Amino acid sequence: MARTRERNIVLLGAPGSGKGTQAERIVARYGLPHIATGDMLRAAIAKGTEMGREARRFMDAGELVPDEVVIGVVRERLTEDDAREGFLLDGFPRTIGQAERLDALLGGAGRGLTHVIQLDVPEDELAERLAGRRLCRACGKGYHVVFDPPARAGVCDACGGELYQRADDDETTVRNRLAVYRAQTEPLVEHYRAKCILSIAFGGGKMPDEVFEQVAEILGGAAS
């Protein structure tokens, strides 16, 4: 059956743990669609849609957007053609409620998650990573002013686009995002451990490519 080689992956981790950074590498190696709810919500804000307007006040405060909004976005995205034979979820699920809805959604289609990878990074490194993060306005590629700087400050290596700082990367909002992660998202670690699909990649003091070696070992083989 074609389904047996399907990789249906969740990247789980605190703000700044490297979900987006590892997702770039996973997508390049395994050819999966990258479904990042944070990116999709920011795109809705940029477009000025009603959903974007609703999401914005939660995101600016570092709070979670209500489950119904996010679940709706993911449900729709998972029915698109490119997600039929595997996908990479980044930043979803983020609550037990979202995880249960995702299970039901996939189960109803005879599918299920194959890997949940927790990116484990010590708390003191997270704030430093977020403070130095820069993103390309044109292509979305991520950088860090110290750990992964572009060749020319403020300019994307990949496309020449302008680099910017995310609105929720200021110190106060970061503090709240970390607290929200601990309270609402961290319980998912036990949730998925109990389902025996949890693996841990250790990111403390390791460069992105070293973390990716662990991730690739977890995911195994070449692209299916």
Nearest one of 159, 129, 125 to 143, comparing CA atoms: 129
Catalytic residue (choose from 7, 42, 129, 133): 133
Indicate the pairing of strand 133-136 with strand 198-202. Answer: unpaired
Which residues bind to ligand AP5, rule: CB under 6 A? 13, 15-21, 37-38, 41, 58-59, 62-65, 70, 91-92, 94, 98, 129-130, 132-133, 142-144, 147-148, 177, 203, 206-208, 211
Contact 188, 159 (CB under 8 A): no
Nearer to Mg ion, 19 or 141 (CB): 19
Query: Is 42 marked active-site?
Result: no
Query: Is 133 marked active-site?
Result: yes
How many angstroms separate the CA atoms of 128 and 111, rounded?
38
Nearer to ligand AP5, 148 or 224 (CB): 148
How many angstroms separate the CA atoms of 128 and 70, rounded?
28
How many angstroms separate the CA atoms of 47 and 166, rounded?
16
Partner from Zn ion, ligand AP5, Mg ion, none binding residue 136, C-beta < 5-8 Å depending on class: Zn ion
Note whether 156 binds Zn ion by CB under 5 A: yes
- Hey, which residues between 163 and 182 contact Mg ion (CB under 5 A)? none
Neighbours of 107 (CB within 10 A): 10
Look at phi and psi of residue 18 and say left if phi exceeds 0, alpha if psi is from -120 to 50, else beta.
left
Nearer to Zn ion, 11 or 135 (CB): 135
Helices (H), 31-66: 37-47, 50-61
Contacts of 46 (CB under 8 A, 6+ apart): 52
Catalytic residue (choose from 101, 129, 134, 177): 177
Q: What is the chain's alpha carbon radius of gyration, rounded to the nearest angstrom?
A: 17
Note whether 20 binds Mg ion by CB under 5 A: yes
Note whether 167 binds Zn ion by CB under 5 A: no
Site track 93-132 with Mg ion (rule: CB under 5 A), x = hit: ----------------------------------------
Distance from CA of residue 177 to its chain's centroid? Answer: 14
How many angstroms separate the CA atoms of 9 and 4, rounded?
14
| Span interacting with Zn ion, options 84-92, 137-145, 176-184, 202-210, rule CB under 5 A | 137-145
| Span interacting with Zn ion, options 71-79, 125-133, 161-169, 196-204, rule CB under 5 A | 161-169
| Interface ranges with Zn ion (CB under 5 A) | 136, 138-139, 141, 156, 158-159, 161
Give the active site residues.
19, 94, 133, 166, 177
| Interface ranges with Mg ion (CB under 5 A) | 19-20
